[in-house]
Structure 1
Amino acid sequence: MSDLTPWGARLCLRTEAFIRELGPQGLEGGTLVLAVSGGLDSTAMAVIAKLLAPRLGVRLRAAHLDHLLRPESGGDALFCRSLCGELGIPLDDASRDVKALAADWKTGIEDAGRRARYAWLEEIRHNAGACAVSCAHHLDDLAADQLMRLIRGAGWPALGGMPAWDPRRHVLRPLLLTPKADLRRLLAESGLSWREDASNADHDFTRNRVRLNILPLMARENPDYLGSAAELWRQARMDENHWNEEVLKATPQAGGPGWSFLDDAILRASSQALRLRLYKRAVEALGPGQPLSAALHGLDEAWRNRATGKRFQFPGGKEAHVERGGIRFQPGPEPGVDTSGSGG
């Protein structure tokens, strides 16, 4: 780190403090997998991780997945091999035909790429015995994520954006409160290059439209919009921790299969704010798929009106049934099962 400018050294030390405060327990002595694409963000993350590894006591491994969506993507893989070779970080790389996966899964290219990437990264993490996968999401990404959650109708505190540490997916985001401009400056001061992904300018993708069109408008209205996004994130994390404690107090017996049914006694003893969070936790316990605020409010209204038999569907094929005595949460029916009578 002595080769960095004082500004670059301070950036690395802030990242170290962020990881120590919000990262996973047991990181020291373990392995950290770096998700590298060859772009500016992950290149800067790899450099910072290499500098911090001795201080954090971690071993590093890198992973690069080629989505086979662009003619130049093979060059990205070559760049990652060169970068990791220079940094002395072992690299695993592979490819997935994301376009074909999107057709098979009947989903969009963006969603298919994300699902394939995280599944493969988890495979690498598991095989390496690593404690976490480190992704290069930064403060600009966080601000865009908050706007996308607002557009989709997410509730609080989910509106605060993606977590720094996601224990369910073993994903760490050490740069989450670092502006992209700082990462660009670090690479410029270090004399390092990166790969530009032309698809980042493709307006067919929702994330790109938010990042390229909406986020600059917000920044024009408030030049410190990124600072406001960081403060919103901090407030959301505090509130999330508070409500997690309240949820555990309300349902000490819940957890795993215990989340399949919330009985009337628990729900009557809970405020509406707490009930909504109990529903959210129960839906999330069934697997991936983020429940949206409107559906949770609709479920609560149905329970309050004693609408026995009312059924609500949530992303990921999950369902909630208002029954006599409470609400039952369960995975949705297998494909092909008739759900025409469902509500919500």
Structure 2
Amino acid sequence: MPVRPRLTPAIAQTRRAVRQVLAELAPKKVLLAVSGGADSLALSAAVVFEAKKLKIEIAAAVIDHALQPNSKAIANQAAERLRAIGVQEVVVERVVVRQTGEGLEAAARTARYKALEKIRLKQKAEWIVLGHNLDDQAETVLLGLARGSGLRSIAGMSAIDAERRLLRPLLDLPRQTLRQACADAGISFWDDPHNEDSKFARVRVRKLAGELEKNLGPGLAEALSRTAASAAEADEVITDLATKCVKKALVKTGARQVSYQVATLSKAKAAVRRKALHIICQSAGAKNISRTQILALDELLTNWHGQKKSSLSGITVERVANQLVVKSTKPLTPGAC
């Protein structure tokens, strides 16, 4: 690989996207999350180039999910390519993927992010930098639409996720641009065969997106990305209003029980009220909360006629006189979101 590849449009676009995010945040050190694929290696090359000018330290992590027979060799090859690009501090870590009811994809993602966060803390890096691109964002929106789980699910991925310390500077660049950036720089990359395996939901969505683009014309990924941005903005406003509503409605908190004023919650607009209920349940420890469950809880506020308490994954919610009472088997964090 040339030490200084010629500046092609693909390389320039990738560097510019990285520069905008890193210059805004000015971190002292970042951790690159690298699979060995084109996206993460194009990202790595751009970060190496921009970090020198911005005086940012770099480390990289390659997570071996041990889901393919040659996964160890693939991970080590990715580490070698990172060192050739100019990343000297590279950690290769194998994780155990424990399947849950959410499937192999979700289990692998959970194991990966847990390992990345552990490495980030050990490396004293401020952010984990990921190579998600425009096409990934479009696929995420389509998956969210299919699940029908609200604004948050179609808001896609955030370029800057402060809560989880994640950066995704390439969300506006298509996958092909990143592959071209690697080709232009002489960087070899690995094509994961799982990306063609239709047993995975994301792969099926990827193929569907390709068919939709053929039938509807070019620009589908960009349109879905704009939809995600609009949904994220709306969700931010609703979440802010709902959080304030929850705090205002809070009556009493205990180790395993929290009470909220029905009158305060019921006065809120439907979108804010239901988001407030989601926040209340989530802070009590409930997971995978469905819209059907939220609508049933909403009935306790707006159509009360003596309903029985509702149970949601480890918590119960019931109306007692003029209060909404949330109980959990674990200590609660009232109003957290």
Counterparts of 2:298 and 2:69 in 1: how far apart (Å)?
A: 50
**Tell me, what secondary structure is at the counterpart of 2:237?**
helix
Amino acid at match of 1:309: K
Which residue in the other structure is 1:96 paired with? 95
Amino acid at match of 2:324: I
Which residue in the other structure is 2:178 paired with? 183
Question: Where does 1:254-273 land on structure 2 (aligned, <5 Å)?
Answer: 260-273=258-271
Q: Using a 3 Å threshold, how does the CA distance of structure 1 residues 222 and 299 change in structure 2: closer, same or farther?
A: farther
Which residue in the other structure is 2:116 paired with? 121
Give the C-alpha shift of residue 248 in structure 1.
4.0
Give the C-alpha shift of residue 3 in structure 1.
4.1
Matched, 1:218 2:215: no
**Tell me, what secondary structure is at the counterpart of 1:322?**
strand
TM-score normalized by structure 2? Answer: 0.84
Q: Deviations over 1:148-176 (max 9, x none)?
A: 11111211243221222223322221212
Which residue in the other structure is 1:82 paired with? 80
**Tell me, what secondary structure is at the counterpart of 2:48?**
helix
Amino acid at match of 1:310: K
Question: Where does 1:215-294 land on structure 2 (aligned, <5 Å)?
Answer: 215-220=209-214, 221-252=216-247, 260-286=258-284, 289-294=287-292
Q: Deviations over 1:288-322 (max 9, x none)?
A: 84533333223213432224433142xxx353502
Q: Pick one of 63, 77, 81 that aligns with 1:65.
A: 63
Counterparts of 1:181 and 1:298 in 2: how far apart (Å)?
A: 45
TM-score normalized by structure 1? Answer: 0.83
Amino acid at match of 2:193: A
Question: Where does 1:292-307 land on structure 2 (aligned, <5 Å)?
Answer: 292-306=290-304, 307=306
Counterparts of 1:286 and 1:44 in 2: how far apart (Å)?
A: 41
Counterparts of 1:156 and 1:226 in 2: how far apart (Å)?
A: 18
Amino acid at match of 1:113: A
Counterparts of 2:161 and 2:327 in 1: how far apart (Å)?
A: 23
- The answer to whether the 8 A contact 2:43-2:131 is kept is yes
Counterparts of 1:224 and 1:121 in 2: how far apart (Å)?
A: 33
Counterparts of 1:151 and 1:120 in 2: how far apart (Å)?
A: 29
Matched, 1:194 2:224: no
Q: Using a 3 Å threshold, how does the CA distance of structure 1 residues 18 and 234 change in structure 2: closer, same or farther?
A: farther
Q: Using a 3 Å threshold, how does the CA distance of structure 1 residues 161 and 203 change in structure 2: closer, same or farther?
A: same
Q: Using a 3 Å threshold, how does the CA distance of structure 1 residues 125 and 132 change in structure 2: closer, same or farther?
A: same
Counterparts of 2:310 and 2:55 in 1: how far apart (Å)?
A: 50
Which residue in the other structure is 1:319 paired with? 315
**Tell me, what secondary structure is at the counterpart of 2:151?**
coil
Q: Using a 3 Å threshold, how does the CA distance of structure 1 residues 305 and 254 change in structure 2: closer, same or farther?
A: closer
Counterparts of 2:281 and 2:163 in 1: how far apart (Å)?
A: 14
- The answer to whether the 8 A contact 2:242-2:272 is kept is yes
- The answer to whether the 8 A contact 1:66-1:73 is kept is yes
Give the C-alpha shift of residue 145 in structure 1.
0.9
Counterparts of 2:315 and 2:50 in 1: how far apart (Å)?
A: 44
- The answer to whether the 8 A contact 1:201-1:208 is kept is yes
- The answer to whether the 8 A contact 2:38-2:190 is kept is yes
Q: Using a 3 Å threshold, how does the CA distance of structure 1 residues 6 and 223 change in structure 2: closer, same or farther?
A: closer
Which residue in the other structure is 1:143 paired with? 138
CA RMSD of aligned residues (A): 2.7
Amino acid at match of 1:78: N
Q: Using a 3 Å threshold, how does the CA distance of structure 1 residues 289 and 44 change in structure 2: closer, same or farther?
A: farther
Among all aligned residue pairs of Structure 1 and Structure 2, give the percentage whose two residues are the same amino acid.
28
Residue segments in structure 2 that go unaligned for 5+ positions in a row: 331-337
Q: Using a 3 Å threshold, how does the CA distance of structure 1 residues 292 and 31 change in structure 2: closer, same or farther?
A: farther
